[in-house]
Amino acid sequence: MNLTAPAKLNLTLRVLGKREDGFHELETLMVPLPGLADKLEMEAAESFSLDVVGAKVSPGEDNLVTRALRLFEERSGKRCDYRVRLEKVIPAGAGLGGGSSDAAAVLRALNELEGAGLERKELEELGAQLGCDVPFFLREGPCWGRGRGEILEGAEVRPCEVLLLKPEFGVDTVDAYQRWSESSELPGVRYEGQQVNGVELVNNLERPVFEKFLFLAELKKWLSEQFEVQAALMSGSGSTVFAVLHDADSASRLADRAREELDPKLWWWAGSCGG
């Protein structure tokens, strides 16, 4: 079975406070990026194995693909002996949900391959044990996420063209949340919401992340000043910063200019989101 696991963007991410269980209460609007996706191949084998190509990601028991398979085995009572090949296209530590999407793809595939018959709600409950973003990837289309992000409600988001830029370094999500409550805004950086197509683009994690990674603050400021850009925002806990563009044709030109003026090693991707 061949699978695709798309990335996501957080168009809105508000951190409302810390919960008694140690997690944070969130309100986030997430949209999938079907054009940017990891690829997985699964085939029956004598025992489970995972091969990862395209990124320095551990293929061990801590990988979300492996964890998803083990959790499915525990829930279904079935032994799942498959050879899995994961081709990483979505950068790690980028705030784009690549690992969570991989886990969701495996849960959905195993449910079909093993004939387990788990309903979507049951799969989402399993996914929530792996990560707050996993249930989102078990759905199709934009969603509001509340609670830890796992309480989902479908949303309508008008399509828009985006450019994603990411430096070589990643951001640790746990660290970003831990420093959220005591972080401060940097002077000259716009943190307030930006209106695009009736959606308020805002990310409360920019405050702790920008404080630690000044380049990401510089990247957002630079994008906001470019004539091709309607709005700029960090996705999730970073390190991807994205721009909503006036038109798709400007993406390549803008990416080239960013690499020339800011960092020649910037990774970039452009395409549509929403819809």
Write the DSSP assignment of 139-153 as a string of letters.
S-S-EEEEETTTEEE
Our CA dihedral for 42, 43, 44, 45, rounded to 10 degrees, sits at: -100
Q: Domain count of the chain? A: 2
Specify the pTM.
0.94
Domain boundary among 118, 153, 188: 153
The verdict on 141 and 47 lying in the same domain is yes
Q: Does the structure show a pLDDT above 80 at 59? A: no
Domain boundary among 102, 124, 153: 153
Same-domain check for residues 6 and 124 = yes
Q: Within this chain, do residues 236 and 196 fall inside the same structural domain, yes or no? A: yes
Helix 214-224 to helix 251-261 angle, to the nearest 10 degrees?
140
- Please name the helix (run of DSSP H) or strand (run of DSSP E) that holds residue 103, with its range, or none: helix 98-113
pLDDT mean over 131-141: 94
| Structural contact between residues 106 and 98, judged by C-beta atoms closer than 8 angstroms | no
What pLDDT score does 57 carry? 73
Structure tokens at 51: 């091969």
What is the helix, strand, coil percentage profile of the chain, to 5?
30, 35, 35
Shared domain check, 199 and 71:
no
For residue 138, give its domain range: 2-153
Angstrom distance (rounded) from CA 24 to CA 9 = 19
Q: What CA–CA distance (Å, rounded) separates 143 from 264?
A: 34
Assess whether pLDDT exceeds 90 at residue 230.
Answer: yes
pLDDT of residue 193: 96
- Identify the pLDDT of residue 54: 87
> Is residue 132 domain-shared with residue 185, that is, in the same domain?
no
Token pair, residue 41, equals 């191949």
* Residue positions annotated with a catalytic role: 8, 133
Looking at residue 77, its amino acid is G
Cα(64)–Cα(58) distance, rounded to whole angstroms?
A: 10
Give the single-character DSSP code of 254. Answer: H
Distance of CA 257 to the CA centre of its chain: 25
Q: What is the pLDDT of residue 55?
A: 78
Residue at a domain's end among 102, 126, 153: 153
Instruction: Tell whether 176 and 248 lie within a shared domain.
Output: yes
Asked whether residue 132 falls in the same domain as residue 64, the answer is yes
Read off the pLDDT band of 20 (50, 70, 90). Answer: confident
Convert the pLDDT of each residue in 183-196 to its tens digit: 999 999 999 999 99
> Cα–Cα distance between 116 and 49 in angstroms, integer?
21
How far apart are the C-alpha atoms of 118 and 75, rounded to whole Å? Answer: 10
Task: Provide the CATH number for the domain around residue 192.
Answer: 3.30.70.890
CATH number for the domain spanning 10: value is: 3.30.230.10
Give CA–CA dist 216/229, Å, rounded: 17
247 and 188 in a single domain? The answer is: yes
* pLDDT band with cut points at 50, 70 and 90 for residue 61: confident
Mean per-residue pLDDT over the chain, rounded: 95
Confidence of residue 19 (pLDDT cuts 50, 70, 90): confident
162-181 mean pLDDT: 95
User: In this predicted structure, what is the pLDDT of residue 48?
Assistant: 95
From CA 70, how far away is CA 50, in angstroms rounded?
12
| Same-domain check for residues 61 and 84 | yes
Whether residue 196 sits in one domain with residue 221? yes
C-alpha dihedral (127, 128, 131, 134), degrees to nearest 10? 50
pLDDT at 60: 76
Tell me if residue 269 falls in helix, strand or coil.
strand
Same domain, 177 and 143: no
Tokens encoding 65: 């693909």
Q: How far apart are alpha carbons 67 and 65 in whole angstroms?
A: 5
Grade residue 23 by pLDDT with cuts at 50, 70 and 90. Answer: confident
| Same-domain status, 23 and 138 | yes
How do residues 84-102 score in pLDDT, each as one tens digit? 999 999 998 899 999 999 9
